Copies of this chain bind each other. A is one copy, B any other.
Amino acid sequence: MKDLDVVFKALADINRIRILKLLEKRKMCVCELAYILDVSQPAISKQLKKIARAGLIDSEQDGFWTNYFIKPKDDYAKKLLKLLSTWLNADAIVNDDLEKLKKANRENLCCKK
C-alpha cells in the first residue's frame, strides 16, 4: 500500500506535473527546469527527489549536468505516466512551458554566469 500513495503524492503538485510534462519531451537538467518553472534550483532538486523516490524518473551524469528522465520503475508508475502523457496536452501552462523549452539552451542558462 505504502508505495501507491507515494506515487499519487508525487503527482499531487502542479510543479511536479509540469516537470513530468517537460520530461515527456526530453531529458533535462536541474537548471533548465528551474529556468522554465521559474523557481529556485534547490526547489527543483527537492521536487525531482520526490518524483524519483516514487519511481517515476531516474537520472544520469552528463558532463557538468545531471540529466533527469522518465523511467517508470513499476506498474503504478508505468500506468500513471501513460495516462498523464494523454492529458494536459492542450493545457495553457504546459504549452507555455513547452514554448519556453524550445528556446531554452543549457549552455546559456546554466554555465555562463
Contact = CB atoms under 8 A, between A and B. Distances in A.
Interface of A: 1-2, 4-5, 8-9, 11-14, 17, 76, 79-80, 83, 87-88, 91-94
Given A80-B83, A83-B79, A87-B76, A12 B5 contact: yes
Determine chain A's interface SS by DSSP, over half rule: helix
Contact of A1 (B4, B5, B92): B92
13 contacts: A1-B17, A1-B91, A4-B17, A4-B88, A5-B13, A8-B8, A8-B12, A8-B17, A11-B12, A12-B12, A76-B87, A79-B83, A83-B83
B94 A1 contact: yes
